[in-house]
Structure 1
Amino acid sequence: MTSGDEGSSATIRPRRGGSYAVGRARRTRILHIAMEEFAENGYRGASLARIAERAELSQPGLLHHFHTKEELLAATLDLRDEMDAARFTGADGTPLTGVAALAALADLVERNQRVPGLVQLFTVLSAEAVTTDHPAHDWARSRYRRIRAFIADGIRAGVASGEFRPGVDPVAHAFRLVALMDGLQQQWLVDEDAVDMAALFGGYLRETLDAIRARPVP
């Protein structure tokens, strides 16, 4: 009896794990489809019914995974942040600093040029989220603060390590670099053939590094 019970238990566990894996894969697929829907139509124009149809689910089936449209948006934005976060940390898991931190921004812009749907998602939702009642408002504000803090901290660490010259204003450079990234993204989405945002951002970043690098003592 004992061995039979153990055998029965062993046959149940893989099915449970398999079911979990299937549910996780379905959830991830829903999030990628929702990214496309929010990018194309914004939050207010996006339709749960349309997302469910594109995911080959009924609307109740979609709501089993995400109970509200706001919850789905939050999970979508979290996924987008996770996709970017790894680019700003080193192999040891600590944030990049100095030249490496700024180079990570250039890498991100270059990557974004290959994934227009993600850029469109961020641009559309950021524009909508200027109103305080928008569900993405707090996310957008927090995201801007995080990326400015990453840049400013990276520059401060560069000054402390001797990569960058003393007297550099990390916060001002952070605001300027973020403004340039957003402005280039907007223009690129509107007129892709005329704007090479990776090349333009890379050129500006090289000029910035030339201006803030520590000079060798004569």
Structure 2
Amino acid sequence: MTREAGGTRVRRPPAERRAEILRIAMETFADRGYQSASLAEIADRVGLTQAGVLHYFSSKAGLLTGVLDLRDSTDIEELGNERPQGLAFLRHLVETTRRNAEREGIVRLYTVLAAESVTAEHPAQDYFRDRYQGLLTLVVEALDEAQAQGEVGPDVDPGTTARVIVAIMDGLQLQWLLEPGSVDMAKATEAAIVRLIGRDLPPTTRPFPLSPAP
């Protein structure tokens, strides 16, 4: 039994209740940011007391960790054990931006928390630092593979190009969130990558899973 806000008792399986708390927390953090969202607000939206929420998550920071882990576990599950190689991975990033246009809540959550994470002692700072480094490593590796396969010329600097690609993707997401009809993220991302590497990307030959990109 779990005591709900208002004193009513409702029986819910723990896994179901935990998933519901994470869903509501994800929506609240996306709408209000981590700093502005309160544990009391999340508990009220779920229909629990704050103590009820803390029964599943030890703290507000622990709840944030759960939300970020949920996002990552979904992406990793869909990515599978392999990633496309060379320019196929850059095509994969373009397809990811296309799919991101269909999951506004996740994109907003990422954008809001990433911006907040630059503030002092934010609990997600290490997460985003590691995430950016991981994504940059993947893009650099893909560009190195493309050069080794003769897909990209030696004049392309993988490190700098990777940083510009990631910055473009983040910037387009922000523009899209502020004015969804103003930008086609996939089209703009592909145009920028093609300009950076000096050649067209290969066509999509299979349904790409979602990548761990922003």
TM tier, shorter chain?
0.7 to 0.9
Aligned equivalents of 2:139, 2:75: Cα separation in 1 = 14
CA contact (8 A) 1:106 1:198 kept: yes
- 2:17 corresponds to which of 26, 44, 68: 26
Q: Do residues 75 (structure 1) and 66 (structure 2) align?
A: yes
Q: Do residues 183 (structure 1) and 174 (structure 2) align?
A: no
**1:189-218 deviations in whole A, cap 9, x for unaligned?**
1122212222211322344454388xxxxx
Aligned equivalents of 1:127, 1:140: Cα separation in 2 = 10
CA contact (8 A) 1:109 1:198 kept: yes
Q: Do residues 119 (structure 1) and 107 (structure 2) align?
A: yes
Question: Which of 1 and 2 has greater Rg?
Answer: 1
Give the counterpart letter for 1:68 in structure 2: S
Q: Do residues 138 (structure 1) and 126 (structure 2) align?
A: yes
What's the counterpart of residue 216 of structure 1?
none
User: What stretches of structure 2 of length at least 5 have no aligned partner?
Assistant: 1-11, 202-214
CA contact (8 A) 1:164 1:212 kept: no
Cα-Cα RMSD? 2.1
Work out the number of aligned pairs and report it: 190
- Helix, strand or coil at the partner of 2:13: helix
**1:1-35 deviations in whole A, cap 9, x for unaligned?**
xxxxxxxxxxxxxxxxxxxx932232222112111
CA contact (8 A) 2:156 2:197 kept: no
User: What stretches of structure 1 of length at least 5 have no aligned partner?
Assistant: 1-20, 214-218
Greater per-residue helix proportion: 1
- Helix, strand or coil at the partner of 2:154: coil
Q: Do residues 42 (structure 1) and 33 (structure 2) align?
A: yes
Alignment of 1:6-25 (within 5 A): 22-25=13-16
Aligned equivalents of 2:63, 2:40: Cα separation in 1 = 13
What's the counterpart of residue 151 of structure 1?
139
Aligned equivalents of 1:191, 1:76: Cα separation in 2 = 26
Aligned equivalents of 1:100, 1:87: Cα separation in 2 = 17
Aligned equivalents of 2:16, 2:148: Cα separation in 1 = 45
CA contact (8 A) 1:43 1:125 kept: yes
Q: Do residues 57 (structure 1) and 48 (structure 2) align?
A: yes
Aligned equivalents of 1:194, 1:171: Cα separation in 2 = 30
**1:116-163 deviations in whole A, cap 9, x for unaligned?**
111111111111111231111111111111111111111112222333
Residue 166 of structure 1 deviates from its aligned partner by 3.2
